[in-house]
Amino acid sequence: MGEDEELAARAGRGDERAFELLVARWWDRMGRYAAAAVGGDRELAEEAAQDALSRLYADLPRYRGDSSFGTYAFRICRNAAVDALRRRLRERRWFAGPAERILEAPSPYLGPEESLLREDEVEAIRRAMSRMPEEERSLVYLKEVEDLRVADLSRVVGVPEGTIKSRLSRARGRLRALLEEDGYAVD
Q: Per residue in 98-142, pLDDT tens?
A: 333 334 444 445 555 565 566 777 778 888 888 888 889 888 888
Q: Which CATH class is domain 107-187?
A: mainly alpha
160 conformational bin, left if phi > 0, alpha if psi -120 to 50, beta if neither: beta
> What pLDDT is stored for residue 111 in this prediction?
58
For range 150-170, the mean pLDDT: 90
> What pLDDT is stored for residue 52 in this prediction?
93
Instruction: Kindly state the percentage of the chain with pLDDT values over 90.
Output: 33
**Sequence-ordered alpha helix ranges (H) in 38-106:** 42-59, 69-91
Confidence of residue 93 (pLDDT cuts 50, 70, 90): very low
Confidence of residue 185 (pLDDT cuts 50, 70, 90): confident
Q: Assign 136 to helix, strand or coil.
A: helix
Q: What is the separation of C-alpha 172 from the centre of its chain, rounded to a whole number of angstroms?
A: 16
For range 168-176, the mean pLDDT: 90
> What is the DSSP code (8-state) at residue 67?
S
- Domain 1-97 = CATH 1.10.1740.10: yes
> What pLDDT is stored for residue 27 in this prediction?
92
pLDDT at 21 over 90: yes
Mean pLDDT of all residues in the chain?
82
So where are the chain's domains? 1-97, 107-187
Confidence of residue 148 (pLDDT cuts 50, 70, 90): confident
Answer whether 81's CB lies under 8 Å from 51's CB: no
Answer whether 14's CB lies under 8 Å from 21's CB: no
For range 23-34, the mean pLDDT: 91
Answer whether 170's CB lies under 8 Å from 123's CB: no
> What pLDDT is stored for residue 107 in this prediction?
47
As a whole number of angstroms, the distance between CA 33 and CA 135 comes to 12
Cα angle vertex 166, ends 165, 167, to 5°?
A: 95
For range 149-155, the mean pLDDT: 89
